[in-house]
Structure 1
């Protein structure tokens, strides 16, 4: 057998190409193992603190005599604070580094989340929800931006899918945990179960906010766990990806950029469905016939378990085929079908099947969407542009619970709210095809 040194030129080139591909695959796997699980854990903490109000609602509304409209307004007002401070937060992160800024975000939201134990009036509820949005502004888009420092566009959909698996993980872990806390801690030291919920679920974010300062690197250059060869490879790929970026778009130019308004509109529809699921899932399960908060929590884990299986499959398929639009639009239509069918069913089993379909579709859509704006933005314009798209779209987080809560009070049923969500998602899926394929399919 000939040695590699004496191999024919074509064979030598093939061997060299294989070695390079193997080294690159191992390097990105190493980066993924280092960053993604930890960032998922942080986002899981963020998501718990953001949406545990959906479980607290099962007891809090009765204790405080709040209406569905008050709850919907409070759940949604979080996103007004998020909207106002998200772009500046993401720009600051780009300038001062991810480590310090993400730690600041996590520590402040943990403290504010715990303060919900003091809520007595609608006004206090609204103020704390607004401040929670201010505190958390910039975290999710900040992480999305941070991942662009490490992963080129061709590898980003899979990385984003894995990161966004934290949302269904939060449902899988948070549902049973929230139900258990409200069931087991009710009356302990004279505090209602929903108050213990806010106190105990703030602790993970408090701890992780400190850990970030010691664990996270601001970028490739400062990563001591990478070899010089690995750093060179990662840097070369990221720089090459930036050179292929269609155009740098400043936040000032965002106002007149139809492409980014289109992306914001698409994501608005996705977020509307996402928070329609998040804020009302416990209520949907209860109305299907489950009374005990513990069992409500257990049943809410099932839809998120279905989503966590779906997300990596869709992300891997999108990267393999270098196709983005269908991998976003099809999950959106699947989610719309799940929401639209739900009002026709009455049993617990059938309701869980439909809401599982909706969860798998809408959460896959949430991760796949970010392959669009990250494909056309770079540098500081990415920091501003990603945050701008996210903050405008996240106004749906205000409108979704507010409108659904109002419709529920108006009709006495959940049917109108679910049809509203389903219709909005279908509109968003149609808008996807207005994005030119050549700008995102890479």
Structure 2
């Protein structure tokens, strides 16, 4: 019998024993594609089952667009700056997401530089706030989901008319302090705050500042969700801005609009009859309507950039411009109201108008503020004269009267200040102590 012929019987051990070894190996190879195909089918079935179960609902669109956000807040003692293992300062970056090791590694390896391990923060307590990994298309939704629980409706009741008005407010601390607008609570007999979840609290007025349209309220509640203060440092025109408020006092909780920071240092006449104005405002195209006053203007990290206060109007109606008191002013005003119940605004004692210098080619260039002294004038007592032009405060250039007033809003009565004047061809520095703005 030829050894290569198949055996005549499957039970013939003798013929089986003389079968060449390479025939056995050939049959092993033929089974390998079948095993691989079975494994792939099993993997596909498992993936399909997980997909149907919703395991892949979290979508990361393109790895290059995934961002990470971190904020570490230490209190009460300031934390030491973390350092890398090579003793160079650790880069500041937003916080680690908690959405899974796979997504973390993708973010760390493809979108942000890898960080070396840092030394622990040396602080009594450290609160770390983590925002999930998200794609830019989800930015507004992520910020809104964090902010909405901290936005409240403020209702005011007038004793005489017994009619309620409403506005918005921002919870600024877990123990119940709330920021809103002065005009929201002005002349109110009683105040009530309604949280986004529908809970209602009576509110106490801590203090109010009509000059910058800011007020602080207090409710007796604890462990409230709150919004942290942001910063104006490095903020640029065109950066995203998200407004959250309660327009028209509508039921259903806060609403969200989005836009950009349109401009800085805007002035706005709030009462044409009296000439009352607000200065140093942020301008945004994020829609702000009645009832949203006192709400939050937020950055992309959900931090407070300003308290929304007004909208731009003309004879044709709303102009699509919203205005907010910037956090750089809000923070000082809130501190004063909480510590003293009032704000001791600074007073220079001048009237003024923008002054210009003429260049050689006839073009006019902003120079500063030409002043006329009032009867009681801190700057007059220090040696200024009518017709002098203020060109700087503490070395920071001033080019217009609104800008001068805006800069003064960051000072308080009794603060020392150096005012730089242009008098003819002379430049003078005058040191003085600011008076208090008259009531």
Higher normalized strand content (fraction of residues): 2
Higher normalized helix content (fraction of residues): 1
TM-score (norm 2): 0.25
Which structure has more RCO (C-alpha within 8 Å, separation ≥ 6)? 1
TM-score (norm 1): 0.25
